[in-house]
Structure 1
Amino acid sequence: MGTRGPVPKRSTQRRRRNADGVPDISPPPATLVEAPQLDFPAHQLAADWYASLAESGQAQFFEPSDWQAARLLAYDLTRHLNAGRVSAQMTAALWSAMGDLLTTEAARRRVRLEIDRDSGDEDDQAAGVVAILDDYRRALSDDTG
């Protein structure tokens, strides 16, 4: 996973699409892991951030350890927001941890994961289709047939 340099362009904006080949990503598991409840009084912003993870497209790839990392991050974010004093170092650490959970488009692009919500089909929009998986499926069907 590249973490340095400029954020890669979306696949639809790249000129050399043939350079990447088959994406090195596996399809999501058949059963989704449900997000555990926050069992502490979270700051409203931290609770909203945590709740938004379950609605995000990348949540279909989350394992139980990812949800526990998100809970810990929500706890630290609550402590940071309730402290009354903003720490630049803590903000940077929280932002980095959020990036590890792929909560920003830049972080998802770096691992070549694109969530396409503008597909036109209402069912696909609601599900948050992961565009890279469609490429993966097409590549697999081309290889087998």
Structure 2
Amino acid sequence: MTKEHREQLMSHAREVSFPAGARIFNEGGTAERFWIIHTGTVTLDLQVPGRQAAVIETLGAGRLLGWSWLVPPHHWHLGAKASSPVRAYEFDAAAVREMCAKDPELDHELCMYVSGVLARRLRSSRMRLLDLYAPYGAGEVP
């Protein structure tokens, strides 16, 4: 993102913290916020019927936590839990969507960034679920 757009976005940030073990959001809940992790780690998980939630990915400093706020109907597609104490910058999704509606360049940059995050999360989810549940894991069939 351009420096101007980063500054514009960061002007809407507030610092928050989560203790280790805190549930940040649950799959299916309303996505009203998102975060940029400053310190600590967060695990993303996926509910699997009849089984324990599958950890899909672990996020650390500098990573975006939450993309579902951008895509209607704005419900979390994964869950998130602090796996260590976390400090993060929190953003109100409605305010950011409103900023994007007024600035098409910001909207484009943010959509491109979030699209890249989304693609990585889908790959991660696929690989992790194959590792957990496919007969030969994510590797090639012999």
Give the TM-score taking structure 2 as reference length: 0.32
Higher strand share: 2
* Structure having the higher Rg: 1
TM-score norm. by structure 1 comes to 0.32
- Identify the structure with the greater helix proportion: 1
